[in-house]
Every structure is written in structure tokens, then in C-alpha cells.
Amino acid sequence: MTDTTVEPTPSTPAPLLEVDNLITRFPIRAGLFQRTIGHVHAVEDVSIHVAPKETVGIVGESGCGKTTFGRSLLRLVEPTSGSVRFDGRDVIAAGGKEMKRLRREMQIVFQDPYASLNPRMPVHDIISEPLRIHGTGKKEARQKASDFLAAVGLLPEHGNRYPHEFSGGQRQRIGIARAMALQPKLIILDEPVSALDVSIQAQVINLLEDLQEQFDLTYLFIAHDLSVVRHISDRVVVMYLGRLAEVADRNAVYDRPAHPYTASLLSAVPIPDPDLEGKRQRIMLQGDIPSPASPPSGCRFRTRCPIAVERCATEEPQLAEVEAGHQVACHFPLAAGETLVERVRSMGRTLDLLDGRSVAST
Amino acid sequence: MAAPLLEVEDLTVSFPVKNGEVTAVRGVSFEVHRGETLAIVGESGSGKSVSVMALMGLLPDDTRIGGRATFDGMELLALDKKRLREVRGRRISMIFQDPMTAFNPVFTIGDQIAEAMLVHDLATKAEARTRVIELLELVGVPSPKQRADQYPHEYSGGMRQRAMIAMAIANKPDLMIADEPTTALDVTIQAQVMEVLADIQREVGAALILITHDLGVVAGVADRVNVMYGGKVFEKAETRKLFYSSKNPYTRGLLESLPRLDAEEGARLVPIPGSPPSLMAMPAGCAFAPRCTHKVDICAERSAELIDIGLDHQTRCHLAHDLPAWEPDRAETPA
């Protein structure tokens, strides 16, 4: 195993995870001979580099490809093309043995803590199973399982119980302990708190933050809840229909979104503050998310975009920097400080706002 | 104030289980006035859904239901099945969380909305058809004429939820009950559907009971809020009072534990310790006591009563008058 020696470059350490031009498509089969009649474009040309100990949040709505992206990195689904390098090693080209070694260091925590734990196994065995698979002796595996049980805030006696005896929050702790058992460097967290009750979500988020601090973990945090992602992430990636819409530091994405989709998405999130909700100008996006089996031509967001023009239908925007570290795939990104409502007004268009009023053209 | 449209008093709901019974709702009282939006907030197991299902007669026959519920002068819990069916769908309608399972997959959306009218003899077939198209248009379903002849699987999640709202308002009900109506939807679609629901409610003039766990949605649409925990109402207040001057440790804890879109950077979340109680093992005293940072001896012994703590503000806490001052996060500038 390679050791985590600090790279000599102090400002930008070598990325732990380098994803370049990743494409994952699923064939659509139909007919008597199950011929492939098309593809679902789940992940289209996604490139992201993740630094050690960084938390990168991946947000987007259903069908945006965020879950497939996470699974493609571990090759739980095979990517169609592109490159994934972990700690300098080629994940896509790795054979069975190498892949097994890689998966020691790249783990995943799933959304549904009810479906992802074997109901017939006591918790001790659930946590120590990955260790056993990777050749740790029975006694040592048991000891480590106890250690990680404690690390996620469960009691030693919980080890002998079965998953059904636990609440949702506790089960997610067990899932996290299992992912931690092999002492990975990277954990892909796929909607880790969205199945949990509100009062429990904060417990699990705090636990994840503590574990990261304690074990120098790198997180890829996949979620649809923008408030949770803002809280936990250093950098945020916004996906729409398989493509990256915007990538930036957390504050840049939330304080000065440049992509009209990011701006609309943020605006749609309700904030638990009645006075604020009363005066916010919330943008209402029209229409549904198109099917990833037949994405719109040009910019994929154009069918719902309030500022789309002809060029958006013919030319696909490429990810480009609008400021250092802030990339946007839009022909007409919003300037820092410019709101989407202002832009729409300046174009003389109307826009539906969520309080039922409509912005008149100016 | 005029008599409430719906007044629920001391509602209890118990289900039989292998070794006895579990009580999911333990003495819930609330009222809904004409045209207002009441949000019922709570986590899983709080009894928020079960209490309205009981009122609507939608629970299994062996459920034991106690208490009183008066809807526009009628005793809801005393109605026989036939009378209850007349009220349900005509005077009170429901919008469920999962529109995929709420619609019958083998009938068209249009036929199902029409049926809601025909079953109550409120329209002829031809009238119903015209009205279905009007309704679909009203809730923002594009090309309603064609869409009326499509089946539920041909609708997206957001469109199905719009169709369900259309069905719910078909008979111009006095009260709509929406149980987590946007939980299964994406955030941009959720915003569309909540907007449709709020507009329609204004238009029809119906009262709305919104059952949800999402305090953000509550902040935007509710006039009043009931917070439920362990089968009881823990706090009842006008919306701003609840968010800005809660007098209940559970409500405060819930609001403090939320990560906010407009939160300060680097602030650590403040979770409520422990988990919600199991219905099988409800604590003896206050259901929230095992998780409460303010608890005193009496909390473990008996549950507090719901007491008046201000105008249109009630709380269930032994320490209601002695809780420390509380300054919730409040944004100064609009986003």
C-alpha cells in the first residue's frame, strides 16, 4: 500500500482522485432480439479532480447522473469511456486483483440504511466482513470492528445485534463503520442522510465531519439537498442531465451562482424562515427535467432556461472559467452579483416567480 | 372568531399488535379554520399522518379510535361508512405523497378525475369531461385535452402530483389534506407543485392541512403550525411565533439542527441527541424528556399539559415559563 506522504507542493497537493472525460451510458434494449435502440446518457464528459482531505459535494435533481457518476468511479457500473485515476493509479484499466486493492481505499456509503445491510448478519460481522475479505484474521477483524463501532458512536454490545434492532440513524452509522473498516482514503457518500429524520441528519453529518478530521478522509458527497451540501462541502459540483453545469468553491456556488440552473435550483429551496420566505424572489423553473435518453440539443438546460437564445440550441457550452477555480458551462453566465431575475428583466422577458406574481418585462 | 371548520378533540389511535396494542396518537386536539393553511410537522412516528388518516376513516377496521372530530357541525368519527364516503372526496379531499400509487394504473387520468365527480353525482359524464380539462389546465398540465386521455405512467412525478391536486379540487372541497405532497419530488418541481397548491387553495377558498417534515415549506405557506412528537401535539402557534419565539425545547431543537441554505460558514450543526421514541416503548413522562437538554425530575414522571403561553400559542412543556431566551437564526437580507 502506498503511504500518504505529503506532496512537496504546499498550495496544491496532487489530487487523490482525477476523473477526466468520464462517460457512462446505458443501452436501451427492445424487441425480440433485445437490440440496442439507444442509450441513456447518464454521465457525459465529466472531469473532476479531488484533493486529499477535500469534500466535494455533487448536487443535482433526479436523472442528473450524480449516483451513476459515484458508482462509475468504483466501477460498480462500468464507465463507457474516460479516465479515472486514484492516487496516481488507473482505476479503469485495473484488473480484478488491482481493483480489489483499490476498493480498500475507495469505499461507498449508500442512501438506504434499510436495504444496504444484510438482515441476517450481526453488526460485528457486517463491519468486519470487508476486513475478512481483504485477508484480516478473525480476531483482528473483530477487534477492529469494535473500534469502528465506537468511532461511529455505537456501544460495544450493539455488535451482537441485527440490523432490524436499530433505528435509521443507527443503521447509517453501521454503514459508515463498514465503509471505514478498511481505513479508506476516499468515501463516496451517496445521499447518506436523506432517508433520515431531520433531528438525526445533523448527528450523522457531524459524525462524518469528525471522522474526516480524525482519519484524514476525502469525501465525495452526493446529495439533492442543497442546504446539506453547502454545510459539508469545500467545493460543489452542479450536474444537470449527465453534464457538469457549474463547479466552484462552496461560497462561489452559493453566493454568486453563474449558471442559470444553479441560480434557479438555489432559488427553489425553501428556507425555514417565514419573514425571509415572504420577501425572497424565488424563480419558478418551467417544465420537467427532460429524459436522459434523448437530451436536448446544444445546452441541455435550454428547454427550461429563462435566458436561453438560439445559440443555446445549436452549440453545446463547454465548461469555462469565470473566475479562478469557478467553472461554468453556459454561453451567457451570470456576472458576479448579477441575479437571474435581473438578467431576465434586462432581456425584456417575463419570468414566473414563486409568490404567484410575474415579473413584467422592462 | 367563527366556529372552526374542523375541530379535533382528544383524538387517540391505537393499533392491535401481537402482544397487545400500540398507541400512535395520544390525545391530539387541533382546529382548522375556513380558508387557512395549518401545517402539521413531525418526524416519523410522531403520529402526524395517522391522526388525519383516522379522521378520514382510512385506517384498518381493527384500529381503535377515540375522541371527537367535528367537521362543519358533523361528528366525523360517528359517521357510518356510507355517510363518511359522501364527505370524503366531496367536502374533504386528500393529496398523498406518492402519486404513482394513488392513481389506478389501468384507467386514464381524465377518467379518474371525472370519477371523483361522478361518484358524488355532481356532474353528468359530458360535464365531467369538460371540467376535467379545465381542472388540468388550472393546475398547469400542458395540452390538457391530450393529457386527460393518458395513463398515470405517461405522467412525470410532478405532473402526476398536479393531476392529483386537480382531482382533489374537482368537487370544490372545504378542506384539503395534503400528506407530504412534495416529498417525492425534485426541488424545482416541488416549488412548482407547492405554488400550484397554494394558488388553487386561494382560488377555491378551501382550508388546507399540510402534513410535512420540511420546515422550509412550512415557513413559506402555513398560517399556523402544530408540531407533533410521540403522538402528541407539542407546540401550536401562528407560523412566525413558532419560528421566532418557540416555547418548546423540541421545536427549538428541530429548528437549530437544520442546515440552512443561508447559514454562516463553518458553523457546526447542533443535533438533537438520541432518536425519536419507539411506539412500542414510549417513555413514561414527557416523550421528549430522554433527548431534552432542559429536562428536570418531573419530566420523567409525567407528561406536561398543552398550555396557553401567548395569543394563539400553546406549548406542552413543564418548563414553558422558565425556558431560557432563544434567538433563532434570522436572515436580514432577502436572497
Q: What is the pLDDT of residues A225-251, one digit of tens each?
A: 999 999 999 999 999 999 999 999 999
Chain B residues whose beta carbon lies within 8 Å of the beta carbon of residue A266:
261, 335
Residue A358 at interface with chain B, using a CB cutoff of 8 Å: no
For range A37-60, the mean pLDDT: 94
Chain B residues whose beta carbon lies within 8 Å of the beta carbon of residue A289:
156, 186, 188-189
Q: A90 to chain B nearest CA, in Å?
A: 35
Q: Which of A206, A251, A269 sits opposite B265 (nearest CB)?
A: A251
Q: A213 to chain B nearest CA, in Å?
A: 13
Residue A209 at interface with chain B, using a CB cutoff of 8 Å: yes
Nearest chain A alpha carbon to B191: A268
**At residue A11, does pLDDT exceed 90?**
no
Other beta carbons less than 10 A from residue B87's beta carbon: 19
Nearest chain A alpha carbon to B266: A231
Give the C-alpha separation, B187 to A264, whole Å.
Answer: 10
For range A42-52, the mean pLDDT: 95
Give the C-alpha separation, B119 to B293, whole Å.
Answer: 53
Is residue A173 classed exposed, middle or buried when 0-12, 13-18 and 19+ CB atoms within 10 A define those classes? buried
| Per-residue confidence in pLDDT tens, chain B, 335 aa | 678 999 999 999 999 988 888 999 999 999 999 999 999 999 888 999 999 999 999 999 999 999 999 999 999 999 998 899 889 988 999 998 876 778 999 999 999 999 989 988 888 999 999 999 999 998 888 899 999 999 999 988 888 989 999 999 998 999 999 999 988 788 888 888 888 888 888 888 899 999 999 999 999 999 999 999 999 999 999 999 999 999 999 999 999 999 888 877 778 899 999 888 888 889 999 999 999 999 999 999 999 999 999 999 999 999 999 999 888 877 654 44
**At residue A75, does pLDDT exceed 60?**
yes
Closest alpha carbon to B245 in B175, B294, B315, B141: B315
Read off the amino acid at residue A140: E
Return the pLDDT at B335.
40
Chain B residues whose beta carbon lies within 8 Å of the beta carbon of residue A194:
none
Read off the amino acid at residue A176: I
Nearest chain A alpha carbon to B200: A356
CB contact under 8 A, A277 and B220: yes
Q: Which of B191, B216, B275 sits opposite A272 (nearest CB)?
A: B216
Bigger pLDDT: B197 vs A219: A219
Number of residues written out for chain B: 335
The DSSP output letter for B118 is H
Return the pLDDT at A262.
96
Average pLDDT of chain A, as a whole number: 89
Give the C-alpha separation, A76 to A74, whole Å.
Answer: 5
Residue-wise DSSP of B36-85: -EEEEE--TTSSHHHHHHHHTT-S-TT-EEEEEEEETTEEGGG--HHHHH
Return the pLDDT at A358.
44
Return the pLDDT at B96.
87
**Least confident segment among A15-29, A68-82, A163-177, A306-320:** A163-177
Give the best residue of B43, B188, B238, B245 to mutate against chain A (max A CB count within 10 A).
Answer: B188
Q: Which of residues 159-178 of A touch B (CB under 8 A)?
A: 167-170
Buried/exposed A242-278: b ≥16 CB within 10 Å, e otherwise:
bbbbbbbbbebbbebbbbbbbbbbbbbbbbbbbebbe
CB contact under 8 A, B259 and A228: yes
A299-302: long-range contacts, CB 8 A cutoff, minimum separation 24: A299/A329, A299/A330, A299/A331, A300/A240, A300/A241, A300/A242, A300/A243, A301/A240, A301/A241, A301/A245, A301/A259, A301/A260, A301/A261
Give the C-alpha separation, A90 to B69, whole Å.
Answer: 66
- What is the dihedral angle through the alpha carbons of B190, B182, A273, B308, rounded to the nearest 10 degrees? 160
CB contact under 8 A, A230 and B261: yes
CB contact under 8 A, A280 and B334: yes
Record the pTM.
0.89
CB contact under 8 A, A197 and B44: yes
Closest alpha carbon to A321 in A313, A332, A329: A329
Closest alpha carbon to B206 in B318, B116, B90, B320: B90
CA distances B197 to A82, A163, A361, Å, are 44, 39, 26
Give the C-alpha separation, A91 to A101, whole Å.
Answer: 10
**At residue A352, does pLDDT exceed 80?**
no
Who contacts B279 (Cβ-Cβ below 8 Å, separation ≥6)?
A: B22, B23, B24, B45, B231
Chain B residues whose beta carbon lies within 8 Å of the beta carbon of residue A301:
none
**At residue A8, does pLDDT exceed 70?**
no
CB contact under 8 A, B187 and A61: yes
Q: Which of A269, A279, A354 sits opposite B195 (nearest CB)?
A: A354
Cell digits of residue A171: 443503521
Who contacts A255 (Cβ-Cβ below 8 Å, separation ≥6)?
A: none
Give the C-alpha separation, A241 to A65, whole Å.
Answer: 6
Model confidence at A1, pLDDT cuts 50, 70, 90, reads very low
CB contact under 8 A, B191 and A167: no
Return the pLDDT at A320.
96
Cell digits of residue A348: 425584456
Cell digits of residue A343: 438578467
Chain B residues whose beta carbon lies within 8 Å of the beta carbon of residue A275:
240, 330-331
Chain A residues whose beta carbon lies within 8 Å of the beta carbon of residue B198:
356
Question: Which residues face A328 on adjacent strands?
Answer: A246, A320
Q: Which helix (H) or strand (E) holds B6?
A: strand B6-17
Give the C-alpha separation, B155 to B45, whole Å.
Answer: 31
Return the pLDDT at B278.
84
Q: Which of B156, B190, B262 sits opposite A271 (nearest CB)?
A: B262
Model confidence at A355, pLDDT cuts 50, 70, 90, reads low
Q: Which of residues 98-127 of A touch B (CB under 8 A)?
A: none
Return the pLDDT at B332.
56
Chain B residues whose beta carbon lies within 8 Å of the beta carbon of residue A192:
none
The DSSP output letter for B322 is G
**At residue A321, does pLDDT exceed 90?**
yes
Q: At what angle do helices A198-215 and B249-257 cross, to 10 degrees?
A: 50
Bigger pLDDT: B274 vs A321: A321
Chain B residues whose beta carbon lies within 8 Å of the beta carbon of residue A66:
none
CB contact under 8 A, A272 and B255: yes
Closest alpha carbon to B295 in B322, B315, B269: B322
Q: Locate cell 424545482: which residue?
A: B188
Chain A residues whose beta carbon lies within 8 Å of the beta carbon of residue B181:
none
Give the C-alpha separation, B90 to A97, whole Å.
Answer: 65
Cell digits of residue A309: 437564445
Q: Where are the beta strands (DSSP E) in chain A?
A: 17-30, 35-50, 55-59, 81-86, 89-90, 106-109, 186-190, 218-223, 235-240, 243-249, 320-323, 326-328, 351-352, 358-359
Model confidence at A302, pLDDT cuts 50, 70, 90, reads very high
Say if residues B309 and B315 touch (Cβ distance below 8 Å). yes
**At residue A360, does pLDDT exceed 50?**
no
Q: A100 to chain B nearest CA, in Å?
A: 36
For range A178-202, the mean pLDDT: 91
Give the C-alpha separation, A54 to A48, whole Å.
Answer: 12
